[in-house]
Copies of this chain bind each other. A is one copy, B any other.
Amino acid sequence: MKVLGLITEYNPFHNGHAYHLDASKKETGATHTVAVMSGHFLQRGEPAIFDKWTRAKMAVMAGVDLVLELPTAYSSQSAELFAYGSVLTLDSIRIVDSICFGSESGDISRLSAVANILENEPSKFKVHLKEKLDSGLTFPRAREAALGLFLDCGTTAYGLCANDALGILRSPNNILSIEYLKSLSRLRSSIKPATIRRIAADYNSTQISGSICSATAIRECLKQGSSLEAISSVVPSASYSLMHSVAAAGLTPVTENSLLELLSYAVISKSDTLSSYCDIREGMDNKIKSEIRRAPSYDELLSSLKSKRYTMTAIKRMLMNILLGVKKADVEVFRRLSSVPYIRILAFNDKGTELLKKIKHSSKVTIINKVPRLDSISDETARKMLQYDIDSTDIFNIIYYAGCKHALRGSMDYIISPAYLSKKDRDF
């Protein structure tokens, strides 16, 4: 058994994901695949468009053997924390041989060299970074500029020249890749990293053409209420069929804008404690408090909150942390864990069953199949982490089930079981 680990969001699963999956299997020679996948709230500070069980089924039907949920407290966070939670999950199960991630660079040695600098923070680099931050740049821009200045000084110790590094920190998948590498290093993990160069459409492209396009384009299409037909050429047939099921059930794709009313209420009702939520930094609490009371749309809210200091994505994550009530103090604990307190299965196939057997044998991690009542969990960290997962599903479902309220039978995390899909299901 040779196990490949993947870090995913599959929002929703499309042909580009299928390409990455197959290429990663080839690149690493894997016989089995386990993916850790964000639940209902994603790394870019957005809600998922479909529920996590449906998205996990799409993945298994496309050839992933086991899908585990990335706990919510890691999923809608900075690249660093998202990567740490994801790598931590894959490392904790003690069966993963390699991780393969997409990057714009496609060059694992260059990415590793940059990760090495960012992880070890040589003192000269640190000085440049502080200067750039003090000058008012956002963190990503400051870090990029500091890296350039550091390498310009002629150091060759990292096997990189300034030109090599140029632009690496400009691309979102490179940035995530570097964070995965830093996390592997921090955990002294035995997992081997590999990367596949991302092909075709940009993340933010909204064009649908050919057989591969961005998830952003697919979501735009779904948000605009276009017929599913429009995306049939860019998603595997199983994804397509599952999307039809979601539509037939009357479920409402969740978008940022559809969360605006709940977010407004969240800010008003929590206004005394806003600064206790993850990533809400000085001044932003008051700015959010005043802008939310006059924002006609989510986009206009974001524009009104945008500043030189924070990227749009950072602001979106702040807002999701308020909505989900993710507390700074809890995240500080989660950030320092050396293994996850539990893993949660979302979907699996027969090979996934083999993987689960091996996990039980190789690791001590608690495997959650049926979610236990929270008060039966004695470990406080596990209980808090799971509470965030359950609450985020309940909050997501206020919108997701808005068109079919009778179908909502309670806290769905307690009700929906992990999806087992046999080989037959895959071929439907």
Q: Which residues on A are within 8 Å of B, measured CB to CB? A: 261-262, 264-266, 268-271, 290, 293-297, 325, 391, 394-395, 398-399, 402, 405-406, 408-411
- Chain B residues with CB under 8 Å of A410's CB are 290, 293-294
- Nearest to A269 among chain B residues (CB) is B325
Whether the pair A266, B265 counts as a contact (CB closer than 8 A) is: yes
* Cα–Cα, bound, A268→B402 (Å): 16
Q: Which of B266, B297, B402 contacts A261 (CB 8 A)?
A: B402
* Cα–Cα, bound, A230→B264 (Å): 35
- Chain B residues with CB under 8 Å of A261's CB are 261-262, 398-399, 402
Whether the pair B268, A405 counts as a contact (CB closer than 8 A) is: no
* Cα–Cα, bound, A392→B391 (Å): 24
Given known A293-B408, A410-B290, contact A266–B264 (CB-CB < 8 A): no
Whether the pair B266, A394 counts as a contact (CB closer than 8 A) is: no
Given known A261-B262, A262-B261, contact A394–B268 (CB-CB < 8 A): yes
* Cα–Cα, bound, A270→B273 (Å): 13
In the assembled complex, the CB of A285 is this many whole angstroms from the nearest CB of chain B, namely: 14
Whether the pair B408, A294 counts as a contact (CB closer than 8 A) is: yes
In the assembled complex, the CB of A387 is this many whole angstroms from the nearest CB of chain B, namely: 9
* Cα–Cα, bound, A265→B270 (Å): 12
Whether the pair B409, A294 counts as a contact (CB closer than 8 A) is: yes
- Chain B residues with CB under 8 Å of A405's CB are 295-297
- Nearest to A262 among chain B residues (CB) is B265
Given known A261-B261, A261-B262, A261-B402, contact A268–B408 (CB-CB < 8 A): no
Q: List 19 A-B contacts (CB under 8 A).
A: A261-B262, A261-B402, A264-B398, A265-B266, A265-B395, A265-B398, A266-B269, A268-B394, A268-B395, A268-B398, A269-B269, A269-B325, A269-B395, A293-B394, A293-B408, A293-B410, A296-B406, A296-B408, A297-B405
Q: Which of B262, B391, B394, B411 contacts A262 (CB 8 A)?
A: B262
- Chain B residues with CB under 8 Å of A408's CB are 293-294, 296
- Chain B residues with CB under 8 Å of A262's CB are 261-262, 265
- Chain B residues with CB under 8 Å of A294's CB are 408-410
* Cα–Cα, bound, A358→B338 (Å): 71
In the assembled complex, the CB of A258 is this many whole angstroms from the nearest CB of chain B, namely: 10
* Cα–Cα, bound, A399→B290 (Å): 18
- Chain B residues with CB under 8 Å of A293's CB are 394, 408, 410-411
In the assembled complex, the CB of A402 is this many whole angstroms from the nearest CB of chain B, namely: 7
In the assembled complex, the CB of A291 is this many whole angstroms from the nearest CB of chain B, namely: 9
A271, A293, A408 — most chain B CB neighbours (10 Å): A293
- Chain B residues with CB under 8 Å of A295's CB are 405
* Cα–Cα, bound, A323→B208 (Å): 43
* Cα–Cα, bound, A295→B402 (Å): 11
- Chain B residues with CB under 8 Å of A290's CB are 410
* Cα–Cα, bound, A271→B395 (Å): 12
Given known A262-B261, A264-B398, A402-B261, contact A391–B296 (CB-CB < 8 A): no
In the assembled complex, the CB of A426 is this many whole angstroms from the nearest CB of chain B, namely: 33
In the assembled complex, the CB of A413 is this many whole angstroms from the nearest CB of chain B, namely: 10
* Cα–Cα, bound, A293→B266 (Å): 18
In the assembled complex, the CB of A166 is this many whole angstroms from the nearest CB of chain B, namely: 44
* Cα–Cα, bound, A238→B283 (Å): 45
* Cα–Cα, bound, A402→B271 (Å): 21
* Cα–Cα, bound, A409→B296 (Å): 10
* Cα–Cα, bound, A262→B264 (Å): 9
* Cα–Cα, bound, A405→B409 (Å): 32
In the assembled complex, the CB of A92 is this many whole angstroms from the nearest CB of chain B, namely: 28
With contacts A262-B262, A265-B395 known, what are 7 further pairs, Cβ within 8 A? A261-B262, A261-B402, A268-B395, A269-B395, A290-B410, A293-B411, A294-B408
* Cα–Cα, bound, A406→B293 (Å): 11
- Nearest to A406 among chain B residues (CB) is B296
